[in-house]
Amino acid sequence: MKITLKDGSVKEYSSGMSVIDIAKDISEGLARVACAGEINGQVVDLRTVVEDDCELSILTFNDEAGKAAYRHTTSHVLAEAVKRLYPGAKLAIGPSIDTGFYYDFDTPPFDRAALDELEKEMKKIIKEGAELEKFTLPREEAIQFMKDREEPYKVELIEDLPEDSVISFYRQGDFVDLCAGPHLMSTKTIKAIKLISSSGAYWRGSEKNKMLTRVYGTAFAKNSELDEYLAYLEDVKKRDHNKLGREMELFTTVDVIGQGLPLMMPKGARMIQTLQRWIEDEEEKRGYMLTKTPLLAKSDLYKISGHWDHYREGMFVLGDEEKDDEVFALRPMTCPFQYYVYKDSQKSYRDLPCRYGETSTLFRNEDSGEMHGLIRVRQFTISEAHIICTPEQVEEEIRGCVDLIHYTLSTLGIDEKVTFRFSKWDPNNKEKYIGTAEEWEKNQDTMRKILEHMNINFTEAEGEAAFYGPKLDVQFKNVHGKEDTIITVQLDNSIAEKFDMYYVDKDGEKKRPYIIHRTSVGCYERTLAMLIEEYAGLFPTWLCPEQVRILPISEKYHDYANKVASELKVNGVRCTVDERAEKIGYKIRETRLDRVPYMLVVGQKEEEEGLVSVRSRFLGDEGQKPLDTFINDISKEIRTKEIKKVEVEQQA
């Protein structure tokens, strides 16, 4: 048999060999760091026997799949440590994830001291260096095996598998876990570990199930890599919008108001207002017509649109269909309202495209376990729009949507931080969608070709489409590594028929238009969260709720400080005057801590000569400047939405 390796070289063997034995034949050093194999593009366990000609790669920690196997084995080490120290704990699941691994246990929560003890026990297990042995059992024997070990969650997982399944397990010493693999050959391969945190997690992600204890951890092949990651986590803590946004008094939450219903404080509200005005003005320049539609509607509207059948569980419904003559629901999206704006008058092909935009407040009944700061909320405001166009106009209009997206992301300074995902329907779950299979395939082919024409680098994801059409999702990872959709562009040719939407074409015939659903900056609350984390609260000047703070060195100069403030406000600069009877050094330090980009110190010389002493977060002490010069400079910075770099360390 011929084995073609990653470098193109070929190894020949007279009989079958395991992946790990082939690795040893190549190099003992390679075998020591091997984590998994890849045969003809499929990731396999190191114990897998190769019996036919194939292409083989030996995966190490430097490969993503190798890293996943390494960390998955570490999760088994954690599970063994828990069973040693807490024999009554029940095992649930323990996968690898992008940042490391986690394992869910049915046991009381672990505090930091308990995590430290578990970590010590894990290091003992690693030092013992037990070999990992894979074995399989028929389904019924596997169920009984786990019943005998009193592991009900494992039993449930096995019972969900087909009756003819062969179930795989891995044993390390006395510890056994249900697992498909792949895994390392021995625990001694693991070099650097850290248990990060513990939290609650519902079994199988459903709040109807029991709350389990989830332990997060990570593992690396080198201690230096672990140290670097732990330093990164410290930075993450500083940037976490849920913590920093509250410290900066941008938003807060209150239990008696409810989860997912944040209160925007004056500073946060000002930032969102700034974003909204910018987007509305930009959309107007691009030919969008502004609408303002109701926050709720009768169920009749949602039955026409399909939301009642496909999205009702995610809606806030007011009333009972069995008792009430009319049942209302808060809107989860704006599209069906804007369709009636379109239908208010007959449209000709000459009237298209019609671009309707709205700053929409929407309501979605998210699960309580999904709530997180401003990223996932139950009431939010979004830059929503719907473009009604002819089939011939679809590509140009989608290009316009993507151009607007690039403009907004580059202005916010995050265009290099996003990825694009083409979200498709799941043909095996047709009841989730409206429209025929032929319509879906046609729409997906149309949108894919447009994206390819635009040279957009995208991945494809089955089952992530909206119920009415495929979409382009703009993805952004928060500081914790979780990926969220921030902007979407969706293509729809099914809804127009439901709402009897048409236009009169050149031939005088009525035709159904295409509808493009899109956002330009997405949900404003989520965008604010993203900006808090991206800039660690040090926002570009144009976005700052307070752009300048004026610091008089004594009460004698309050009048001049307020005169400076008046001039700045006339020119659209957001500023305040610190009139407290504090030393100037203290005021400067507080201004820095409050993340104000500019402070103007004023005293006798500044008042006599019409000057301001400028200190900025970007250049530090910039010296004295005529007030008019400073106003011109900062006005230009705000007008152009410049993102300035910090070039010096700020000093008090």
CATH, range 266-289+331-366+383-522: 3.30.930.10
Overall average pLDDT of the 122-137 stretch: 95
Residue 168's CB is within 10 A of a number of other CB atoms, namely 15
Return the CATH architecture of domain 541-639: 3-Layer(aba) Sandwich (3.40)
Structure tokens that stand for 171 in this block: 């044993």
Domain with CATH 3.30.980.10 in the chain: 65-239
Query: Is residue 467 scored above 90 in pLDDT?
Result: no
Characterize the bridge pairing of strands 2-5 and 54-59: parallel
Q: What is the percent of the chain where pLDDT is above 90?
A: 82
Instruction: Supply the pLDDT for residue 369.
Output: 67
The answer to whether 138 and 167 are in contact (CB under 8 A) is: yes
The Cα 250–Cα 242 span in angstroms is 10
Overall average pLDDT of the 516-525 stretch: 92
The answer to whether 5 and 56 are in contact (CB under 8 A) is: yes
Query: Is residue 652 scored above 50 in pLDDT?
Result: no
Residue 651: pLDDT band (50, 70, 90) is: very low
Least confident residue range of 287-291, 341-345, 398-402, 436-440: 436-440
Best CATH choice for the domain 65-239 from the list 3.40.50.2300, 3.30.980.10, 3.30.470.20, 3.40.190.10: 3.30.980.10
Residue 513's CB is within 10 A of a number of other CB atoms, namely 25
Q: What is the percent of the chain where pLDDT is above 70?
A: 99
Structure tokens that stand for 571 in this block: 């020119």
DSSP 404-467: HHHHHHHHHT-GGG-EEEEEE--TT-GGGS-S-HHHHHHHHHHHHHHHHHTT--EEEEET-SBT
Residue 300: pLDDT band (50, 70, 90) is: very high
Q: What is the pLDDT of residues 6-55, one digit of tens each?
A: 888 998 999 999 999 999 999 999 999 999 999 999 999 999 999 999 99
Residues listed for the chain: 652
Instruction: Supply the pLDDT for residue 6.
Output: 87
The answer to whether 115 and 123 are in contact (CB under 8 A) is: no
Question: Which class for 181: exposed (0-12), middle (13-18), buried (19 or more C-beta within 10 A)?
Answer: buried
Overall average pLDDT of the 94-101 stretch: 93
Query: Is residue 65 scored above 50 in pLDDT?
Result: yes
Interacting residues of 198 by C-beta distance below 8 A, sequence separation 6+: 109, 110, 111, 114, 115, 213, 214, 215, 216
Query: Is residue 635 scored above 80 in pLDDT?
Result: yes
Overall average pLDDT of the 538-549 stretch: 97
The Cα 248–Cα 250 span in angstroms is 6
Greatest extent of the chain over all pairs of C-alpha atoms, in Å: 95
Least confident residue range of 454-463, 568-577, 642-651: 642-651
Instruction: Supply the pLDDT for residue 236.
Output: 85
What is the pTM assigned to this prediction? 0.80
Instruction: Supply the pLDDT for residue 542.
Output: 98
Find the helix or strand (DSSP H, E) in which 497 lies: helix 495-498
Overall average pLDDT of the 75-86 stretch: 97
The Cα 157–Cα 152 span in angstroms is 9
Which position has the higher pLDDT, 606 or 493?
Answer: 606
Average of per-residue pLDDT values in the chain:
93
Domain with CATH 3.10.20.30 in the chain: 2-60
Domain with CATH 3.40.50.800 in the chain: 541-639
- Residue whose tokens read 């009381």: 108
Which position has the higher pLDDT, 479 or 135?
Answer: 135
- Nearest 5°: the CA angle 264, 268, 271 is 135
Q: Using N-to-C axis directions, what is the helix angle for 266-285 and 394-412, rounded to 10°?
A: 140
- 39, 76, 74, 75: which is closest to 57 by C-alpha? 39
The answer to whether 592 and 652 are in contact (CB under 8 A) is: yes
Which CATH class for the 2-60 domain?
alpha beta
